[in-house]
Structure 1
Amino acid sequence: MIFSIRPLDKTVDTASFNCGQPVLDEYIRRYASQDIKRNVARVFIATPEHDNAQLAGFYTLSAGSVSCADLPPSLSKTLPRYPVPVALIGRLAVDTRFQRKGLGSILVADACQKVAKASISLAMVGIVVHAKDTTAAGFYRHFGFKPLPGGPDWLLLPATAFRA
């Protein structure tokens, strides 16, 4: 199946989105547009090529920072001892009708491409994600995200991995 990925707009049907995680369903329905307006997140949606109104999945990107002490020693040893900039994948979800079709992987790859382009103009040491559960953590580890020392649910993909 082929998907189109674009910024969230009013033409997509968010009301019928169901990923199996009520907090993520509620986010895309009620709060995503507000986050865009308040300039705290960019929301990107995936729709099937044949139906641009059907929401198949989404992810959010924001800027953030991480304390150097919270980074893996292999990365922190070369960095200053103050918070360093990162990109944050705040939320990522795929509708149950499109799960197990590779869309989650497509969304992560798209996020990495967008961050790589942004890193030409905006410095960042990596992409951070807060995995909601062990299944999500395993999903991100598959792409090379490594647990941050502060806890197994926070993971980092170093910039060297997505700039390659």
Structure 2
Amino acid sequence: MKNLFASHLLKNLTALAAVLFLLVSAPACKKDKNDDTYFRFKVNGAQFEATGLLAYGVNFSGERSFYGVKDQSGTESCYINVPSDVTPGTYTLGDGAYDAYYIDNTNKAFSTNWGDSEGTVTIEEINADRAKGTFQFVAYDSDTETIKKTITEGEFNVLFR
């Protein structure tokens, strides 16, 4: 009986030690950089969110772009263009050097370059690998420049490809 009790106690202590080890070591695990990659906003009040590989940045000749693609079909997306030498700060969208586009699920394009558009992008952090910031804008369609989309509560944290 004594050996049975000791054996049971030893099993419980071993299990407890394993749980304690996991609790202590779990915070030390390093989080993958892509886990917190996102590009999200509201378009006319409806939530849009791209995460992981569907939220990214690209360096072009003289320009950096931040993209959010809603799903693998790629039909609904949004992107913001800024000069390649941009530094942290707030910038007006639609002035030529800074602009934004929203493509809806019917493939209709809206931009801060058309109609009576307005908006801002705030770059909080930017380096060779990552960009983080916020944005909001009103964009008009390319056909008539009378149909608008209102983008609010925008935020991004993207890795450059």
What TM-score do the two structures reach when normalised by structure 1?
0.23
Q: Which has the higher helix share?
A: 1
What TM-score do the two structures reach when normalised by structure 2?
0.24
